[in-house]
Amino acid sequence: MFNSLVQTLSEDEEPEMISVTIDLTDWERIERSIQEIRVRQSSAKEEEQFQVVGLLCRETIITLAQAVYIADKHPVLDDIKVSKTDAKRMLEAYIAVELTGASNKILRSYARATLDLANVLTHKRTATKKDAALCSTATLSLINFIGTIEGRI
């Protein structure tokens, strides 16, 4: 009677990842990264392998930031020159322009938190399957989030 509930609550159960619901046309590298995250997450068994999922998530977020950030349109918030891998500054600048105003404050925080989650997992020496699943789910959600802003729905 309780088998399905026990199976659902079991940490060993392979977590389902959310799907990407936006159009990935011209975002081939992001699409490849998503596939690699799924492969690595499903085969990960040890802490280092879970950390690799975080690394892939972080790299995917960098690629996403590079795809949408336009320096002339999205000025950085702290006047520091943005490097090609500075996803934090690129996404902050992008989101500050695309989601202006106090009513969008929580949406801006959401994007920052997703990048922070990937960075933490990359360095977490006690990473678990659950950590990797949460990070990859948040990353895919951020891709959908930014894709929605970009009109890729």
- The residue count for the chain: 153
Please write the tens of the pLDDT for every residue from 61-91. Answer: 999 999 999 999 999 999 899 999 999 999 9
The DSSP call for residue 2 is: -
- Between CA 145 and CA 153 the distance in angstroms is 10
> Where do the structural domains in the chain lie, given as residue ranges?
57-153
> Longest C-alpha distance within the chain, in Å?
60
- Between CA 150 and CA 62 the distance in angstroms is 16
Structure tokens belonging to residue 81:
């020159």
Structure tokens belonging to residue 148:
């929605």
Please write the tens of the pLDDT for every residue from 28-70. Answer: 999 999 999 999 999 999 999 999 999 999 999 999 999 999 9
Our measurement of the distance from residue 80's CA atom to the centroid of its chain's CA atoms, rounded to an integer in Å, reads 23
φ, ψ of residue 117 to 5 degrees: the values are -60, -45
- Which residues touch 113 (CB under 8 Å, ≥6 apart)? 138
Compare 119 and 148 and report the one with higher pLDDT. Answer: 148
Structure tokens belonging to residue 44:
């990960």
Residue type at position 43: S
Whether 9 has a pLDDT exceeding 80, the answer reads: no
Give the pLDDT band of residue 10 (cuts 50, 70, 90): low
Side-chain half-sphere of 108: how many Cα atoms within 13 Å? 17
- Between CA 92 and CA 90 the distance in angstroms is 6
